[in-house]
């Protein structure tokens, strides 16, 4: 499963918790997602430790600032030799272009990480767009427009709900990646995400990568659960 397109969200607070979890996967090379909580708590050494175990890393920090600041930050993140990073698409085309430029400048051996843009967070729905953010446009249209902006800026893809993945691929091509969180097995609780699908549905909806967290990390048997998610999504 070295070519896994399942990003396992390491929603832990400490390095010890991460290592205890990853030690269960001694025969697997995972693609893991390191978010703000873990990165801010354990820092660069956590990234180095995971890479030493042979796993790929999606560093999920969702940069959103003026273009020059994002460019400088991405130049530093590229030096960590992670495999994927992201920004908020709402930061503008100029900011996304700057992110890619920064990654190229900091790339190790000329190979930069994939860079994707977050469209609408899976915790958002139409009511929040209308009443809190004053974006009076259908959610699917907002996602597609921001995805179009991301492609124009030279990004490799977007973070979106699986429900929007097929629309994006139909409009922008299958090589433009869709990384989709909000994935649960049918038996799971929905928790705090409004737009949720199963691995089978995500496959049918053409998701390029899926992000799976608590379904795997809080399972009684994480390895077996991971393998079941893998089977459902990648069909192997």
Question: 């899976």: which residue's tokens?
Answer: 122
CA distances for 135 relative to 64, 129, 142, 226, angstroms: 19, 5, 8, 37
Question: 């890619």: which residue's tokens?
Answer: 100
Nearest 5 degrees, angle CA 19-CA 44-CA 56? 60
d(CA 61, CA 38): 10
Which of 102, 92, 97 has its CA nearest to residue 71? 102
Read off the tokens for 63.
């940069």
Q: Which among 51, 53, 62, 203 is annotated as catalytic?
A: 62
Residue 97 annotated as catalytic: no
Residue positions annotated with a catalytic role? 62
């Amino acid at each position: 499963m070295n070519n896994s397109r399942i990003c396992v969200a390491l929603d832990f607070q400490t390095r010890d918790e991460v290592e205890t979890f990853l030690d269960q996967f001694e025969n697997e090379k995972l693609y893991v997602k390191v978010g703000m909580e873990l990165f801010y708590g354990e820092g660069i050494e956590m990234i180095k430790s995971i890479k030493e175990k042979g796993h790929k890393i999606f560093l999920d920090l969702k940069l959103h600032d003026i273009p020059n600041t994002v460019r400088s930050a991405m130049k530093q993140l590229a030096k960590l030799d992670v495999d994927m990073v992201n920004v908020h698409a709402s930061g503008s085309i100029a900011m996304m272009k700057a992110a890619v430029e920064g990654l190229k400048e900091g790339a190790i051996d000329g190979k930069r990480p994939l860079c994707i843009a977050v469209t609408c967070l899976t915790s958002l729905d139409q009511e929040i767009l209308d009443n809190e953010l004053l974006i009076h446009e259908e959610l699917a249209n907002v996602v597609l427009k921001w995805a179009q902006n991301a492609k124009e800026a030279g990004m490799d893809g977007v973070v979106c709900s699986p429900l929007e993945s097929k629309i994006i691929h139909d409009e922008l091509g299958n090589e433009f990646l869709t990384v989709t969180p909000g994935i649960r097995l049918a038996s799971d609780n929905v928790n705090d995400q409004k737009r949720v699908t199963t691995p089978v549905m995500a496959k049918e909806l053409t998701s390029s990568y899926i992000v799976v967290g608590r379904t795997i990390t809080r399972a009684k048997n994480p390895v077996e659960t991971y393998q079941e998610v893998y089977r459902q999504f990648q069909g192997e």
